[in-house]
């Protein structure tokens, strides 16, 4: 029996009398037309984006020029803020061309702040000098900067009346700048002797008594020791042999220090020296190895209740690695990931160098590993990888295209699952 046809028409989808249904072909044409218009709009947006990027860069450089001018301000607070602004910029972005044109002006500002400033201002200026050399890289430009500032660093470092934190910053800056910009290895050795005159005061005295200093002086000795260890990584084999004889018998006495940071700095420096010694002679043997390993093991398992939990946790972690280095010549490799690359810290030489740069640039270290030619050369990473921004933009799809793709995927997924959701389907069909 044929059911009578309903007189009511379904007007959904625009199916009026004489109008054809909206086909898939029409939909694709409409979509292409829409995408084409979006593509035109996207190209305009790209041009606007490029203009906005240029404007942002101009604004950024304008702020930097303002900071440079403010380093000459009468107010110490304003000068300090300007130095901090320049530090932040240099730590987080490559500014080679900008700094190259203004290096003499910036060097003069740093010199003035080091000579006339006090405390925090001197510390900020010393750190800025380091970052300037790191930005300029190893070459005549950074050498000129360092030749101007090195005598001032040396004077502040030797001045017992100077602010102790400023002396610390000068020790760190003197070490890093020597690594980057010193053109004479004999001058590097002379700088190392300057550091030795400081941290050697913390050695156990000839009568066996432990040297006692306040926390600030100990911090200065730690900075001097770490800067010395950094320069030790570039010493000649002959110089390394001299240092082994002079310092390896006395360095273990620093492991008895009450300051956890001094103990850690001494332990890592000992591990570094053992690594360099074994590079020179695979059969290297230390006379008092058994006693040294016993001390290192005690620090790696330290459970003294009078020490802070965080200090003990940090100390045990470091000295487990130091003990392995001294006993077995082993190193716990660390992987540093940045962008699409990775770097392996696989020796104490590389670790001391990496830690020194990271202390200065902080969270900007991964960016410098990616973009700074000098730092990449230090860690043998090769030239910076060139990424075609235009190609990356071309690979990105618009929000509308992403919406169409997601809608199509959702529709296909719904169709595939619909028969499992329809209760009218015979269950036996799936058995």
Whether residues 93 and 118 share a domain: the answer is yes
Same domain, 147 and 89: yes
Domain identity same for 191 and 154: no
- If you average pLDDT over residues 308-334, what whole number do you get? 89
* Shared domain check, 194 and 174: no
Q: Determine the Cα–Cα distance for residues 253 and 408; give it in Å rounded to an integer.
A: 71
From the list 138, 79, 68, the residue with the least C-alpha distance to 103 is 68
80 and 124 Cβ atoms separated by less than 8 Å: yes
Q: Of the candidates 126, 154, 183, which is a domain's last residue?
A: 183
Count the domains in the chain. Answer: 3
The answer to whether residues 194 and 320 belong to one domain is yes
Is 321 within a domain?
A: yes
**Averaged over 176-202, what is the pLDDT?**
96
Same domain, 257 and 225: yes
**Whether residue 212 is found in the same domain as residue 309:** yes
In this structure, what token pair is assigned to residue 29?
């044409």
Is residue 5 included in any domain, yes or no? no
Query: CB–CB of 120/138 below 8 Å?
Result: no
**What pLDDT does residue 38 have?**
40
With a pLDDT cut of 90, the percent of the chain lying above it is 67
Q: What is the DSSP letter of 36?
A: H
User: Domain with 106 in it: what CATH number?
Assistant: 1.25.10.10
Do both 307 and 209 map to the same domain?
yes
In the three-class reduction of DSSP (H, G, I as helix; E, B as strand; rest coil), residue 145 is classed as helix
Q: Name the domain boundary from 183, 199, 220.
A: 183
- Asked if 82 and 174 sit in the same domain, the reply is yes
Task: Let me know if residue 270 belongs to a domain.
Answer: yes
Considering the domain architecture, whether residues 224 and 132 belong to the same structural domain is answered as no
The answer to whether 209 and 246 are in contact (CB under 8 A) is: no
| Boundaries of domain holding 228 | 186-332
> How many residues belong to the chain?
431
Tokens of residue 420, six digits: 């499992």
Residues 127 and 225 in one domain: no
Residues 293 and 397 in one domain: no
Domain end position, chosen among 161, 183, 205:
183
Residue 351 lies in a domain: no
Kindly report which listed range (5-9, 104-108, 257-261) carries the lowest average pLDDT score.
Answer: 5-9
Mean residue pLDDT of the chain comes to: 84
C-beta separation of 319 from 296 below 8 A: yes
User: Residue 225: inside a domain, yes or no?
Assistant: yes
pLDDT band at 418 (very low <50, low <70, confident <90, very high): low
Q: What is the C-alpha to C-alpha distance for residues 192 and 174, in angstroms, rounded to an integer?
A: 10
Give the closest residue to 280 by CA, choosing from 334, 350, 232: 232
């Amino acid at each position: 029996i044929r059911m009578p046809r309903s007189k009511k028409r379904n007007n959904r989808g625009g199916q009026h009398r004489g109008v054809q249904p909206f086909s898939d072909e029409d939909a694709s044409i409409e979509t292409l037309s829409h995408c084409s218009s979006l593509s035109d709009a996207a190209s305009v947006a790209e041009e606007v984006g490029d203009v906005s990027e240029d404007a942002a860069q101009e604004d950024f450089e304008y702020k930097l020029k303002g900071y440079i001018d403010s380093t000459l301000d009468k107010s110490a607070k304003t000068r300090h803020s300007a130095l901090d602004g320049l530090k932040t910029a240099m730590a987080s972005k490559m500014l080679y061309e900008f700094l190259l044109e203004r290096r003499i002006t910036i060097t003069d500002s740093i010199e003035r702040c080091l000579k006339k400033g006090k405390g925090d201002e001197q510390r900020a200026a010393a750190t800025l000098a380091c970052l300037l050399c790191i930005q300029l890289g190893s070459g005549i430009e950074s050498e000129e900067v360092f030749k101007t500032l090195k005598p001032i660093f040396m004077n502040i470092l030797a001045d017992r009346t100077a602010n102790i934190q400023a002396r610390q910053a000068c020790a760190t800056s003197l070490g890093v700048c020597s690594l980057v910009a010193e053109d004479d290895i004999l001058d590097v050795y002379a700088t190392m002797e300057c550091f030795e005159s400081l941290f050697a005061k913390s050695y156990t005295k000839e009568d066996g008594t432990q040297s006692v200093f306040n926390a600030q002086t100990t911090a200065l000795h730690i900075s001097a020791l770490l800067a010395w260890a950094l320069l030790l990584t570039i010493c000649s084999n002959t110089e390394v042999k001299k240092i082994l004889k002079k310092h390896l018998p006395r360095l273990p006495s620093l492991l008895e220090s009450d300051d956890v940071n001094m103990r850690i700095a001494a332990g890592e420096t000992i591990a570094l020296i053992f690594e360099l010694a074994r590079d020179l002679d695979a059969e290297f043997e230390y006379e008092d190895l058994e006693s040294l390993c016993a001390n290192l093991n005690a620090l790696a398992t330290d459970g003294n209740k009078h020490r802070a939990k965080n200090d003990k946790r940090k100390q045990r972690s470091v000295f487990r690695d130091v003990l392995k280095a001294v006993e077995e010549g082993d190193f716990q490799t660390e992987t540093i990931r940045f962008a699409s690359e990775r770097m392996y810290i696989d020796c104490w030489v590389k670790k001391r160098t990496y830690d020194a740069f990271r202390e200065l640039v902080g969270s900007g270290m991964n960016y410098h590993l990616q973009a700074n030619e000098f730092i990449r050369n230090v860690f043998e990473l090769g030239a910076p990888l060139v990424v075609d921004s235009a190609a990356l933009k071309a690979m990105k799809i618009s929000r509308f295209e992403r919406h169409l793709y997601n809608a199509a995927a959702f529709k296909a997924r719904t169709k595939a699952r619909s028969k499992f959701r329809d209760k009218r389907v015979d269950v036996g069909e799936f058995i």
